[in-house]
Structure 1
Amino acid sequence: MNEINLFPLFLSFRVAFTSTLISFVIGLPIAYFLCKGRGKIVDFIDTLTALPIVLPPTVLGYYLLVLLGRQSPIGSFFEEVFGTMIVFTTTGAIIAATVVSIPYLIKSSKTAFLEINEDYLHAARLLGRSEFNVFITIVIPIAWRGIAAGITLSFVRALGDFGTTLMVSGSIPNRTMTMPIAIYDALQSGNNLLANLLVIIMTSIAIIILFIVNILERKMKKG
């Protein structure tokens, strides 16, 4: 009987949780900026944030390898300071997952921000509140359903990424092998038991998260 190694499951959740947290911290301000900004520069930034959705994973992975590889300034600096590489590590997997998943959080949050009644924001500013205070106390509470939908979509996208993560972090057993990569590896090696288990787990998670997103979107429309 083939041994079932659940390391890819735990690694995938670790990568997905970490990348989703990073996407939230970075993506939310970007979404608000894109919502409020005007002009060609804003349109260009908006286009760039959506690029990972339409680019093939191999192309996106290639760009990240060029940007973060050992010969790049970033990769060389990271290796000199921390004594380790970015590529072919868990750090590389997290970066790859963040890049492919952050557009979903930005798009969903931006849509939620656009639906906020501007009168609420103007009233808060007239009362002397700072933009940061308005964002924290008014914008986020009103748009939380859209933000939550973006977070869940970002999480499930990070959890299921294959191509970009494979190119950046590789498929090193018990080090960088996430669930999608493990499924492919299990099929190649004939370990159907592990492949079936991971497929069922990922499918169940996807169904649950999409169900949550649908509920949140329905509440947004009613609200």
Structure 2
Amino acid sequence: MQWSWHPVQLSFFVATIATVCTFLFAIMAVYWMIRKKRKGKAIFETIFFLPLVLPPTVIGFLLVIIFGRNSWIGNVIESITGNSVLFTSTAAIIAAIVVAFPLMYQSIKTGFLSVDTNVIGAAKVDGATDWMVLVKITIPLSVRSILTGVVLGFTRGFGEFGATLMFAGNIPGKTQTIPTAIYLAIETGATNIAWYYVLISISFSFVLLLLINRIRTDM
């Protein structure tokens, strides 16, 4: 096995795209869940948090079943794009979204629930719509929790391994990320190369965690 920058670049790309998508999904999910009392809320939130407790191999297996060629979702995607999602960088992004979603959802939810309801009520009395309240009041007042969720989600997506290995594979130059590159390096006895990827991963994770601490203390 030879050293390559591709796993590093792909890891950053996957984590970035996944973070953007997860942020949008989490904002919509939190807003939908806390806006009104909804039946089955506990069931929905249990489903949201399942990726936190399920083994990564189970998540990878479910993604293969859902997006594989034997599923209607997989068939629709393949008919539109001409290719299967399996063993592509898109699969790595989907896996990162799934595992990062619970962390970002919980952080954003905490921020939204911390907003003073009197402020929201006053804004609605003045004629603000729900959308205006969300964009101009709730999100700005929750910015610290949102930023924490974004960083945590990015870190989780950046380090995703198990589900990615099953769903996207470990194809050098195509779907190989830092975690899967470390796995292959160990398997092939290339310990020195594994150390390079490990040090990059540790350094970057350290910086992100330090950023989270700064966000919590400075804002």
Query: TM-score, length-normalised on structure 1?
Result: 0.94
- CA separation in 2, counterparts of 1:146 and 1:157? 16
Paired letter, 1:103: P
- CA separation in 1, counterparts of 2:14 and 2:36? 32
The equivalences for 1:1-223 within 5 A come to: 3-219=2-218
SS at match of 2:22: helix
Contact 1:145/1:219, CA 8 A, preserved across alignment: no
Contact 1:5/1:194, CA 8 A, preserved across alignment: no
C-alpha deviation, 1:45, in angstroms: 1.1
* Superposition misfits of 4+ residues, deviation over 3 angstroms: none
The worse-fitting range, judged by mean Cα deviation, of 54-63 and 211-220 is: 211-220
Aligned residues: 219
SS at match of 2:142: helix
- CA separation in 2, counterparts of 1:179 and 1:65? 21
- CA separation in 1, counterparts of 2:96 and 2:166? 11
Paired letter, 2:8: L
- CA separation in 2, counterparts of 1:3 and 1:97? 25
C-alpha deviation, 1:78, in angstroms: 1.1
Paired letter, 2:186: L
- CA separation in 2, counterparts of 1:82 and 1:98? 20
Paired letter, 1:162: F
C-alpha deviation, 1:76, in angstroms: 1.1
SS at match of 1:21: helix
Paired letter, 1:61: G
- CA separation in 1, counterparts of 2:191 and 2:134? 49
Query: TM-score, length-normalised on structure 2?
Result: 0.96
Distance 1:130 1:52, change over 3 A: same
- CA separation in 2, counterparts of 1:40 and 1:131? 21
C-alpha deviation, 1:38, in angstroms: 2.5
- CA separation in 2, counterparts of 1:185 and 1:45? 37
- CA separation in 2, counterparts of 1:27 and 1:144? 14
- CA separation in 2, counterparts of 1:21 and 1:172? 25
Contact 1:4/1:193, CA 8 A, preserved across alignment: no
- CA separation in 1, counterparts of 2:122 and 2:50? 36
- CA separation in 1, counterparts of 2:87 and 2:131? 38
- CA separation in 2, counterparts of 1:23 and 1:132? 20
SS at match of 1:175: coil
The worse-fitting range, judged by mean Cα deviation, of 121-130 and 40-49 is: 40-49
Distance 1:31 1:178, change over 3 A: same
Deviations 1:12-66 (A, max 9, x none): 1000000000001111121222233424412211111111111110111111111
C-alpha deviation, 1:198, in angstroms: 0.8
